Amino acid sequence: MRPSFVADLYEYPDPNRYYMEVTITPVDTLIMFTGAERVLYTNKSGDVLDTVVFRLYPNETAFGARMEVTHAEVNGQPVTPRLEAGRTALVLPLPEPIGPGESVEVTLEFYVAIEKGLQSGYAQFSYVHHILATPDFYPVLSVYEDGGWWMDVGPDRGDAVYSETGLYEALITVPAEWTLVASGEEIASTDNGDGTITYHYVSGLMRDFALMASDNFSRMTGTVEDIEINVYCLSDDFDGADDALRFAQDAIEVYNTHYGPYPFTELDVVETPTRAGGIEYPGLIVVAEDVWVPGEPFFEVVVAHEVAHQWWYSQVGNDQVRYPWIDEALTSFTEYIYTYYVHGEERAEEYMEGFRSTYLGYTGSGGRDLPIGMPVSAYDDREYGVFVYRKGAVFFYALEQELGRDTLLEALQTYLERYRYRVARPEDLLHVFEEVSGRDLDEIFAEWVGANVIEVSES
């Protein structure tokens, strides 16, 4: 954490605490992860819990790998978990139920097998072109809310993860020739003398923990204030590194100034084979190889977008499967904010016009018009981009037209401050905007986001 945010470590109530030791080994056509984690979970609900649920994301079809938990203990006592939700949810029975404020320590031994070259979903979890991309490679605590554990599985499009803030300590052992990149900060490394190196990472209050690696990465570094930015790309693509660095610096400066400061000491920008353009993880963003091209206009957009997710998703979390608009619409709108402050008003208005014409072009040529506030599964592939991203950005622009730039930014600053490290729901966003503007915004939210937001907010 940056010095001005260290106090948050003591103020955020009961973060999930992860300690893991994982060894990554190439074996023939596979990359194998073997390891164990010890997780301290505190019941933050008002209910008595008799189970704790972890998500095994590598088993999702969009991840396309195989994950097994081979041994499980709760407070030192072996337990037999059951798998649900297509092997993506590990349900652990607790020998003793835990009441509100009580904790359990869970130990899990696990492995993950990744087939080299296989590109499922957006190739977000893969080993392709000598790049290992492995977000959420460990059992991730699920979220307990509304009387139950979250066990949704989204479609292959969109982001899969919904998680609460944790503190991570990780010892990751890899072949010595690999460069390893992870959320958080590297505090030590040990050469094991057998062709492997163990890297020791710790994180601040982070939503999850991602890992990328390659035996062919080159690195370029820069700073914004006291934040270190590390750019990693394939050595052949190093001519794109200074663009990536400059875009990331500009983005952090704009968002620090207009939304509120980034709390972590580091941000990594990594080139990977993803087919999604880019993807966000806490403290780490990835940019697709085919976008990583100097002079390619989409390169700047992707970096500005993924860096914006460090505010909307990483800092203020949300259920990305049920309410993707909370982070994606706001992040797409932030591309406009970025363009405004980096390239000026005219370019920004043209940029917003692009969003508007994509949206209106779609509905004007026979496509149905949908609200932006539905789950990922309610849209088809095309609609997901048109409504959640484009129409979603136009919605925040309409709010700005209604309230003015100053009020809009003040509302977003308040929203960030109040929900930083936490999870926001649609009604939370609505309430902050109403509180800051002193206006009743039910109608505009109902019109764009959907009537369900208002029903929930008033029940």
Residue 288 beta carbon to Zn ion: minimum distance, rounded to whole angstroms: 13
Nearest to 244 by CA among 179, 288, 178, 310: 288
Nearer to Zn ion, 37 or 208 (CB): 208
Q: Which residue has the tokens 């190196």?
A: 197
Distance CA 258, CA 337 (A): 9
Cβ-contact 178, 23 below 8 angstroms: no
Site residue total, Zn ion (CB under 5 A): 2
Residue 7 beta carbon to Zn ion: minimum distance, rounded to whole angstroms: 30
Nearer to Zn ion, 84 or 156 (CB): 156
Residue 327 beta carbon to Zn ion: minimum distance, rounded to whole angstroms: 7
Binding mask 104-133 for Zn ion (x = CB under 5 A): ------------------------------
The backbone torsions φ and ψ at residue 415, rounded to the nearest 5 degrees and listed phi first, read -60, -45
Cβ-contact 95, 75 below 8 angstroms: yes
Nearer to Zn ion, 56 or 322 (CB): 322
Nearer to Zn ion, 22 or 416 (CB): 416
Nearest to 392 by CA among 365, 436, 429: 429
Identify residue 77 by its one-letter amino acid code.
Q
Nearer to Zn ion, 81 or 324 (CB): 324
3-state secondary structure of 268: strand
Residue 388 beta carbon to Zn ion: minimum distance, rounded to whole angstroms: 9
Residue 330 beta carbon to Zn ion: minimum distance, rounded to whole angstroms: 10
Q: Which residue has the tokens 């983005």?
A: 251
Distance CA 218, CA 50 (A): 48
Binding mask 33-72 for Zn ion (x = CB under 5 A): ----------------------------------------
Question: In whole angstroms, how large is the CA radius of gyration of the chain?
Answer: 21
Nearer to Zn ion, 328 or 428 (CB): 328
Question: Residues 317 to 356: which contact Zn ion by CB under 5 A?
Answer: 328, 331
Residue 331 beta carbon to Zn ion: minimum distance, rounded to whole angstroms: 5
Nearer to Zn ion, 220 or 378 (CB): 378
Cβ-contact 70, 124 below 8 angstroms: no
Residue 78 beta carbon to Zn ion: minimum distance, rounded to whole angstroms: 41
Distance CA 78, CA 73 (A): 4
Binding mask 270-309 for Zn ion (x = CB under 5 A): ----------------------------------------
Listed in sequence order, the residues at least 6 apart from 87 whose beta carbon sits closer than 8 Å to its beta carbon are: 56, 59, 67
First to last CA, the chain: 38
Residue 196 beta carbon to Zn ion: minimum distance, rounded to whole angstroms: 35
Nearest to 283 by CA among 160, 186, 394, 148: 186
Count Cα atoms within 13 angstroms, Cβ side, for 339: 22
Nearer to Zn ion, 74 or 391 (CB): 391
Nearer to Zn ion, 95 or 277 (CB): 277
Cβ-contact 151, 84 below 8 angstroms: yes
Residue 185 beta carbon to Zn ion: minimum distance, rounded to whole angstroms: 24
Binding mask 246-265 for Zn ion (x = CB under 5 A): --------------------
- Per-residue burial over 271-306, b if 16 or more Cβ lie within 10 Å, else e, is bbbbebbbbbbbbbbbbbbebbeeeeeebbbbbbbb
DSSP code at position 200: E
Cβ-contact 372, 325 below 8 angstroms: yes
DSSP code at position 405: H
Residue 278 beta carbon to Zn ion: minimum distance, rounded to whole angstroms: 8
Nearer to Zn ion, 110 or 359 (CB): 359
| Contact positions vs Zn ion (CB under 5 A) | 328, 331
